[in-house]
A = this chain, B = another copy of it.
Amino acid sequence: MRFAISSAVACGVLLFSSLQMNAQSTQPSFNNTLMPQPAKLTVGQGGFVITSTFTVAAQQFSDERLDAGIQRMLHRLEYQTGVPIAKDIRKDAAGASLVIDVKGAGEAVQSVDEDESYALNVTSSSAKLEANTVVGALRGMETLLQLVQPDHSAYFLPAVSIEDTPRFRWRGLLIDVGRHFEPVSVIERTLDGMAAVKLNVFHWHLTDDQGFRIESKLYPKLTGMGSDGLYYTQEQAKEVVAYARARGIRVVPEFDMPGHTTSWFVGYPELSSGAGPYQIRREFGISDYAMDPTRDSTYKFIDGFLGEMATIFPDPYLHIGGDETNGVQWKNNPRLVEFMQKHGMKDTAALQAYFNQRLLKIVEKHHKHMVGWDEVMNPALPKDVVVQSWRGTESLAAGAKQGYQGILSAPYYLDAMKSAGEHYLADPLPSNSDLTPEQRKLIMGGEVCMWGEQLYERTIDSRIWPRTAAIAERFWSPENVRDVNDMYRRLHVMSVRLEAFGLTHLTQEDVGLRALAGTTDIDALRGFASVLEPVSFGNRYQGQHTSQLTPLDRLVDAVRPDPPSKHEMEVLVSAFLQNPSQHEAERRQLEAAFASWTAAAPKVQQQVAASPILAEDAAERALQFAQLAAIGSQAITSLSGGSAAPAGWKQSSLAAIDAAKKPEGLVRFTELDPLQKLVEATQ
């Protein structure tokens, strides 16, 4: 039995897998759990065992970054296998277990065109990793660590030949630290996770209405009055940039302007289009406040500030936001209205275009390319502005047709609480796209967006991971890698790998459940939580008017989006329904799942009732949990030719499933669709 998700059920609410491995195999053979999948993979015979004699040689080129990357890789290899491994890096390739041949350091400041390709060859006696740049070598080492797998008494590297290069050159993750601050440790472990799945851009949304998170020495009141004391010092920001560079990741800072700027105005009201005074905004949603685009002093301030930021963030790109400026404060200020009339601006969009033109000059003065959200697209702006699309594929394609470079984000909003599978199938450049080859080149890639309104450092990991690993594969791997079942099989393994960086996506649910119930005795609640997920950002906002001051300690904060049981249940039900009498294994697994819900339900109801904070959200859901379990059990029985359901059962069951779909407690059941299919299939 290999390094894989195993298949038997011991005692769990829903733990099974569609993958069956041969437990008797004696020959090391390759179990492909790579994520993202490489561009080209050839599998050979056998492989070689990792022992304490494992050695590495960096033959052709080495520098500090490569050496540090190799050291990290060796430490991880050691921890994966339990085999103590010497950390010295040889020059001489003779006899080395792994030879790393890198042509050169790569770019001094990583650009979008950095060469990330690598080739990895493992034979029955050794491995060779070749890359043009250190970044390519870093990517290859992540692949190498994912190749390591157990075979009976030892861990081995299977014989493979890989040639790999990314499909898109911009593969990002946005983290919004404006709405809720995230400590450096959270950012760094996220960067580790990003490197593991070969993402290459960390988009740091550093300022918003609710917080200004980066120290300015020129304008100390930005954080002094606009951050609640929660911000990154310049030294910390530089540390993050260095940490990212060590992992081949660019850091693109975003300073959202001219809207989303209330936190700027707290210390510097003169930047605004109104009178002030201002306070840090606690509410979410679009603010009416915006910078005053008519005053030279505004641009002088921005120039000073961006100049300072340019010394911290070496990346060639700078994100100026530009989204969701509603123009209300502009229209309410007679001086601005007069300015617009005087300059023949027919609406506030024209005023924002004017602002962007002047902003672009400043950005370019500091030797940066400008990136902005959809709203920045305007004939007045030159074509080297990069448009990040929160509006969708059409908006992105429209931009490309106008000649703008683009990055797709709309389908990758993690707070929409969609499944990994749904994100996975959204393609920045779908095969049916009507773009010309020239326009296609303008689609630089995509970015996952982790907006921060409804999360904080304890819950962010489970919102980002493991779903982001699936999206990272979309950005890296060939377009035709689209098998959702196989993606989920590998995603479970990837999820475990990510824990090694200290990511808490798999542990925080338990922590939350223990805190909510006030006890370590959470087995039953685990079962309940395994079939629940958070509702979307919008639905939560409807159910609970969250602000920055809302404690995020509810059941919705504990449970994870797209828990493993969701896809597993879909697969089981789909297989079972093809022909119930021929899918005995699926029948047994479904029966066991529903039986375990039934067993857990009384305890769940008891614990929910005993905890006011749980009862408020989950009292109704706990009753439904028991109902759904009974419905599932009866459906399986009926479909398997067992005792028929009583009259009216089907109708009442479908009604109960419908009722369970209704918004309640900020959480939703993950298994309603397959359950409904089971009930509908009964006679």
Q: A519 to B507, Cβ gap below 8 A?
A: no
Closest Cβ–Cβ distance, residue A465 to chain B (whole Å): 12
User: Known contacts A1-B609, A8-B603, A611-B150; is A496 also within 8 Å of B515 by CB?
Assistant: yes
Contact of A612 among B12, B152, B517, B611 (CB under 8 A): B152
Q: A610 to B1, Cβ gap below 8 A?
A: yes
Q: B518 to A495, Cβ gap below 8 A?
A: no
Is A654 close to B, CB under 8 A? Answer: no
Measured in the bound complex, the distance between the Cα atoms of B614 and A154 in whole Å is 10
Is A275 close to B, CB under 8 A? Answer: no
Which chain B residue has the least Cβ–Cβ distance from A12? B523
Q: B10 to A519, Cβ gap below 8 A?
A: no
Contact of A511 among B83, B506, B514 (CB under 8 A): B506
Is A185 close to B, CB under 8 A? Answer: yes
Those of A151-182 within 8 Å (CB) of chain B: 151-155
Residues of B within 8 A of A493 (CB): 518-519
Q: B11 to A12, Cβ gap below 8 A?
A: yes
Measured in the bound complex, the distance between the Cα atoms of B5 and A520 in whole Å is 7
Is A640 close to B, CB under 8 A? Answer: no
Measured in the bound complex, the distance between the Cα atoms of B523 and A151 in whole Å is 22
Contact of A514 among B23, B499, B502 (CB under 8 A): B499
Residues of B within 8 A of A604 (CB): 10
Is A273 close to B, CB under 8 A? Answer: no
Measured in the bound complex, the distance between the Cα atoms of B612 and A615 in whole Å is 45
Residues of B within 8 A of A507 (CB): 504, 507, 510-511
Residues of B within 8 A of A527 (CB): 10-11
Which chain B residue has the least Cβ–Cβ distance from A611? B150
Q: A150 to B610, Cβ gap below 8 A?
A: yes
Those of A507-550 within 8 Å (CB) of chain B: 507, 510-511, 514-515, 517-521, 523-524, 527, 549-550
Residues of B within 8 A of A615 (CB): 152-153
Measured in the bound complex, the distance between the Cα atoms of B15 and A520 in whole Å is 9
* 30 cross-chain CB contacts under 8 A: A1-B607, A1-B610, A3-B518, A3-B610, A5-B521, A6-B606, A6-B607, A6-B610, A10-B524, A10-B599, A10-B602, A11-B11, A11-B600, A15-B521, A16-B521, A78-B551, A82-B551, A82-B554, A82-B613, A150-B610, A150-B611, A150-B613, A151-B612, A153-B615, A154-B612, A492-B519, A493-B518, A496-B514, A506-B511, A506-B514
